[in-house]
Structure 1
Amino acid sequence: MFKRTITPTRTPNRLSYLWLAMAAALYLFTGGQWAIPLAAWLAPLFLLRFVRTQRPLPGLLLAWLVRFAVAAIFVLQGTQFPPGTSPGIGYYALVLFFSLVLVLPYLADRLITPRLQGFVATLVFPLAFTMIEYLISFGPSGTLNSIAYTQYGDLPFLQLVSVTGIWGITFLITWFAAVVNWAWEQHFAWPQVRGGGLLYAAILAVVLLGGSARLVLFSPQATLVRVAGLSASQAAVAVFNKQLPQETLSLLQSGKATQADRALARSAFTTLDDDLFARSQQEARAGAKIVVWPEASPTGANILQEDEPALIQRAGTLAQQEGIYLDMGLAVFLPDADNGPFLKDEAVLLDPTGHVVWTYEISHLVPGGQGLYVQGDGKVPLIESPYGRLAGVICFDLDYPGTIRQA
């Protein structure tokens, strides 16, 4: 039942560019701030359809341009860059290169699939796609752009990660694209596509049913612990923005601030820090046992390095007074230097006795952060607490499985 030879159309058809347009539109919703889970299943499907209905070279070039254009739009959102920074030409060149790499699975499918017979040919695309994502994970972007991230809300599906890592998610999404294209080339004739279609459906059903069963039948039995994640209030941020001009903040981030600039920043930073302490106390008195502040950000704690000891002492007093673990994300502005770095993106954990348990600095810098931030040693801090094991990483560190495995 799987013996039919797959023979992709060798010449463009009238709808080819419709499939390309649909793929481009759908890829816009597979990352950044606009991720829609279903789009991640459909975008590769239509781009694969386009490539298969084109001559190899022009089809792959257009696929590359689509991937680059979408990636460039994500970059222009700017959410992955430190405040006050923007991507340069070098970063767009890197995006252009990685866009080319992401087209390699389509190249593999276009060249290898026609030479294979039967349903087994559907494995070429997902295997190539998953392999490329895996290899990219060792590069400067880690798993940041993995298509698996789009399924963050599908808890039954995500249980597969405990067995295969995120690579199982990537494989099933892209295998779906190959299976649908295989059926498409059989004109969706049920006698020809029944076996392969049912096989894929059965595997996906086992994954979803197994994940659902794990959630329902083996749910955690441990006592729940209230954890509060908070940031400065909008009112405090508005006051801060009025107190500290963007020009002064830029001078701090470039090591060109005067003592007068630092004095102005100290006053503005106090507005955010006071608000975070007040909200932390409020959450603790509402029952939170662990309180977490955001990492270095416009809504997080900012402090001059010379003022950091006093801030930590204040945090220790609060942690001891309220009997909480307080994990403070801090943007620590270093004394002025000619060449940088000028900032520490730091996390400081205090235990219920008020003592500092760890001080951790981000180890994987976001694009644009090189030269701006101090880079940590990559050792993930761990402690045992009454609520279980606690570990801490910051931002981009989460996109490196090797780092997270330390916990």
Structure 2
Amino acid sequence: MFTLLFPLIFALQVIAARKLTLTYRHWSAVFVLPVLVTTMEYISFLTSRDGTAGSIAYTQCDFLPVVQVAALTGIQGITFLVTFFPTAVALIIYRYQRNQSIRTLSLVTLSILSAVIVWGVVRLNHMSPATQSLRIGMVTIDKQAYHQQDTKGEDRDMYLANLYLRRVGELVKQGAKMVVFPEKMFTVRDNRRAGFIRQFKDTAIAHQIGIVACVTLQKGDYYENRAWVIGEDGTLLADYQKVHLFAGELLDSLKPGKEPGLFLRNGGTEGVAICKDMDFQQDISRYGSSNCNVLYVPAWDFERDGWLHSRMAIMRCVEGGYGMARNARHGRLTINDYCGRVLYEANSDNGTPALLSGNVNIQHHATLYNKWGDWFSLLNAIAALVSLLLLGYPIARSER
């Protein structure tokens, strides 16, 4: 049913757009399908347990000039454009074949597309000087380490912790000042939490480096997915609990958190989120609204979706106006800027060990989407309602 539902909804949207086009014969009918699709996606964003996953906007992740629209409208603006362009081409051909005027429609289509490309190119090339740059290091270990038969229970957790911490020195030699580990490095029982945090603090102090460690914390009969952010001086800057859990985590008795992972470091606001959190536009927008300068994201992908899930997270950075370092087991390790450019990338899709380091600017770029939120989606929702009213109660036909 889930597989059939979305194609069925899309087919109904196409039928509705076709009906209005044939009824009114006006060039403005070109907006009906984009408006309906954008509105339906927005509703799914607000109601689905998977957030923005499945949005057609993510097909444009590598087309950076178009991606910049997300800074104005959120990814809903990209969805609108992806459905607007083919609709416009189809309607231009349709009207031309019937000797109807295509001048206004062509002019509107070219104007919208030109404005989008110009805006994107200008934003990509307008780089304000960075006041501070941070070198970030990331590491994933071989997945076979999680299946060692000679280590079990607490000994296994300590073994995994040491495997990760041994790699810190290599990243320090590459100039790293912050190390981001992947999601669920190992499981920690609540009564051993302080000891593991002490181990990370000692490593941070010894190397004068910040650390973002993500573990599964066992509390009695339930679990929490926690990210600890530790400063260079050993201070625990944040103890963040993952807010959005996928279905398997809920079945495994994990409990979600509620608050964003914002903290102060060197006088600036930074943030931490975990994997699936980045699929949820409204929650992650709180980081941009709080003038977050950089976001650290431990993650764990499913091998086949490494590229897509990393790019979904990068879209949140374009909407929010900050850079990000994302480290995923069985996925991609990426460092990107506020425009969505992937500056550095490594691949651990197959569970192979990976090491990555690179610089990211520590600065916030205010966006219209940060200030006005889902204004574009609400505008589309109003237009969709008007379209449905016209479909149900047709008025006098226009021949223009």
TM over 0.5: yes
Q: Does 1:113 align with 2:21?
A: yes
Q: Does 1:161 align with 2:67?
A: no
Deviation of the 1:170 alpha carbon:
0.8
Of 181, 186, 202, the residue aligned with 1:293 is 181
2:146: which partner in 1?
240
Of 225, 228, 249, the residue aligned with 2:137 is 228
Deviation of the 1:308 alpha carbon:
2.9
| Superposition TM-score, scaled by structure 2 size | 0.65
Secondary structure at 1:344 match in 2:
strand
Q: Does 1:393 align with 2:273?
A: yes
Of 228, 237, 261, the residue aligned with 1:357 is 237
Shift in alpha-carbon separation, 1:196–1:353, aligned structure 2, 3 A: same
2:305: which partner in 1?
none
Secondary structure at 1:243 match in 2:
coil
Deviation of the 1:106 alpha carbon:
2.4
Deviation of the 1:191 alpha carbon:
8.4
Q: Does 1:381 align with 2:255?
A: no
Deviation of the 1:151 alpha carbon:
1.9
Higher relative contact order (CA 8 A, sep 6+): 2
Deviation of the 1:104 alpha carbon:
4.2
Q: Does 1:218 align with 2:103?
A: no
2:320: which partner in 1?
none
Q: Does 1:132 align with 2:40?
A: yes
What one-letter code is carried by the residue in structure 2 that aligns with 1:213? V
Of 154, 159, 165, the residue aligned with 1:277 is 165
Distance in 1 (alpha carbons) for counterparts of 2:147 and 2:193: 21
Task: Flag the structure with larger Rg.
Answer: 1
1:318: which partner in 2?
203
Secondary structure at 1:376 match in 2:
coil
Of 72, 77, 82, the residue aligned with 1:173 is 82
- Please state which structure has a larger fraction of its residues in strand: 2
Q: Per-residue displacement from partner, 1:172-210 (whole Å, max 9, x unpaired)?
A: 111012112213424679985454234323321221122
Deviation of the 1:98 alpha carbon:
4.8
1:122: which partner in 2?
30
Contact 2:224/2:256 (8 A) holds in 1: no
Secondary structure at 1:145 match in 2:
coil
Contact 1:365/1:373 (8 A) holds in 2: no
What one-letter code is carried by the residue in structure 1 that aligns with 2:32? V
What one-letter code is carried by the residue in structure 1 that aligns with 2:77? G
Contact 1:240/1:269 (8 A) holds in 2: no
How many residue pairs match? The answer is: 286
Q: Per-residue displacement from partner, 1:14-57 (whole Å, max 9, x unpaired)?
A: xxxxxxxxxxxxxxxxxxxxxxxxxxxxxxxxxxxxxxxxxxxx
Secondary structure at 1:230 match in 2:
strand
| Superposition TM-score, scaled by structure 1 size | 0.64
Deviation of the 1:101 alpha carbon:
4.0
Distance in 1 (alpha carbons) for counterparts of 2:15 and 2:181: 45
What one-letter code is carried by the residue in structure 2 that aligns with 1:293? F
Secondary structure at 1:240 match in 2:
helix
Q: Does 1:332 align with 2:217?
A: yes
Contact 2:245/2:256 (8 A) holds in 1: no
**5+ residue gaps, structure 2:** 288-400
Percent sequence identity over aligned pairs? 25
Distance in 1 (alpha carbons) for counterparts of 2:161 and 2:237: 20
Q: Per-residue displacement from partner, 1:349-404 (whole Å, max 9, x unpaired)?
A: 11112121221111111133324243333210212223842111112211222211
Deviation of the 1:275 alpha carbon:
1.8
Distance in 2 (alpha carbons) for counterparts of 1:393 and 1:279: 23
Shift in alpha-carbon separation, 1:94–1:361, aligned structure 2, 3 A: farther
1:309: which partner in 2?
194
What RMSD, in angstroms, separates the aligned Cα atoms of the two structures? 2.6
